[in-house]
A = this chain, B = another copy of it.
């Protein structure tokens, strides 16, 4: 051994920001305004929480659930569990009681730290989660009279009060588990992804590279993406390491309130799914002169692809760079990222070409491997045309699911992502679709995402959702659900004509359905499974099948 074999433990980096920049603030939105604490206070409180958890019997490897919005106490739970070697199991507040019961039991969470306002959502689980020995309740303004019957409960502040200020983080193996996050599949029970110290440590380093998000200690970050989704995209970890100011929106996710928060706290970087950025855009357009967003420089967008028209709007109107990322719970989650200028020649390219970069899922982060494959796992060409199943591997990619290996989701050491896409000659990944959302018509694939992006670029259209509907001759045909902007009047034919400027006739939607809302998944993406189920419930038929004659 010639070099030191220092294990890659999160405990070696989570305290760093508080040490080098103790006075930087963690700011949490509450009903009474903003609650502020310094990084130094956050660190001390996290160490106290670790002592409290240890005193309550939590040992390295034990699961500690959180049922929380983004807030300072959720951050303390990240910090404490990472330091002490417990496993942070972030529970998605928006899951059904059935899924929550399964997940809590499968993970065998011993303690759950819950926001008081979210306790009613847990109440349905009373008597059904016997593994949970204690609920630690984080109380915000207005929720002082909380109650729960799911387990013995204690107030968070009482839990950590009078504990020592410093916990000697233990030396663990770098493959020790760090976190657990369940992903809701289309079939079967949710599956757990267990993050390890090494994998998240490497993910954190990659996220802090200039050509990733360009995260810097000088940033003020607003993570809107919930901390119960894939480690909040890793931002809490990176920000703790660097010593960034963090702004936490808690349960206040109304777009106008988010914009006000960005302006008031001089946020430089934020992260959310496209539907949030659509809402934020609408809030700004509603009151264009109200907000000073001059500090804002980057908006990271993941979960699904932002429409190019949205990327353009943020550039033209706010001078803000949208950064697209692609990944999933199984990839920690960052796998690719797209910046306006991320290759040597990019700064001298026209703005249109730079923005076209961002419309793609992006370049693979250093250290990962990714390729597209056909059904027999042959690699496909990188011609920007050929669509294949995306497989990925590398040091922060999942190798099996927690206590539920699912070998069919892996091939020869690669994760089968379930997304399909193409790779262009410049090695940009372009996501075509979730494989289950692709429309397969007459043996050819139609990308629902492409059609949606095209439709929302039309004036008067607010959102679009394209799903497949069964067709006896073609297999499947696309149908577009469309939400119009308020007071807009866009006839179906206008939308079809607009699509025909770009797509072949067989790729056009068979039907345009105007709707008031599109159901969202618990992660804020359009829930196409629910859309298809709704259509089935309504007995929806494709137009050419409605005639008595059957097939045309």
Contacts and interface: CB of A to CB of B under 8 A. Distances in A.
A548 interface: no
A198 interface: yes
Interface stretch (A1-9, A160-168, A444-452, A483-491): A1-9
B402 A2 contact: yes
Interface in A341-371: 341-347, 363, 366-367, 369
Contacts of A210: 208-210, 214-216
Interface stretch (A388-396, A430-438, A464-472, A513-521): A388-396
B209 A5 contact: no
Interface string A137-175: 000000000000000000000000000000000000001
Contacts of A344: 21, 24, 217-220, 243-245
A218 B366 contact: no
Given A13-B366, A427-B19, A202 B199 contact: no
Contacts of A196: 2-3
Contact of A366 (B16, B194, B400, B415): B16
A267 interface: no
Interface in A394-415: 394-400, 402, 413, 415
B343 A243 contact: yes
Contacts of A198: 3
Contacts of A253: none
Nearest to A395: B6
Contact of A400 (B2, B23, B402): B2
Contacts of A399: 1-5
A53 interface: no
Nearest to A39: B344
A144 B218 CA distance: 53
A41 interface: no
A20 interface: yes
Contact of A175 (B5, B21, B175, B400): B5
B241 A24 contact: no
A195 interface: yes
Interface residues of A, number: 68
Contacts of A342: 216-218
Q: Which of A3, A208, A413 gathers most chain B CB within 10 Å?
A: A3
Contacts of A395: 3-6, 8
B402 A20 contact: no
Interface string A516-548: 000000000000000000000000000000000
Q: Copies of this chain, how many? A: 2
B3 A398 contact: yes
A2 B243 contact: no
A420 interface: no
Contact of A1 (B241, B245, B400): B400
A366 B398 CA distance: 25
A12 interface: yes
A216 B344 CA distance: 8
B343 A217 contact: yes
Nearest to A196: B3
Nearest to A414: B4
Interface in A186-238: 193-196, 198-199, 201-202, 205-206, 208-211, 214-220
A55 interface: no
Nearest to A244: B344
A285 interface: no
Given A2-B177, A218-B341, A20 B427 contact: yes
Contacts of A6: 367, 393-395, 397
A383 interface: no
Q: Which of A19, A217, A427 gathers most chain B CB within 10 Å?
A: A217
Interface of A: 1-6, 8, 12-13, 16, 19-21, 23-24, 175, 177, 193-196, 198-199, 201-202, 205-206, 208-211, 214-220, 241-245, 332, 341-347, 363, 366-367, 369, 393-400, 402, 413, 415, 426-427
26 contacts: A3-B194, A4-B393, A4-B397, A4-B399, A4-B413, A5-B399, A6-B393, A6-B395, A6-B397, A13-B367, A16-B366, A20-B343, A20-B363, A20-B426, A21-B345, A24-B343, A201-B367, A205-B205, A205-B206, A205-B209, A208-B209, A208-B211, A210-B215, A217-B343, A219-B344, A242-B366
Q: Which 3 A-B pairs have the closest CB atoms?
A: A2-B194, A3-B199, A6-B395
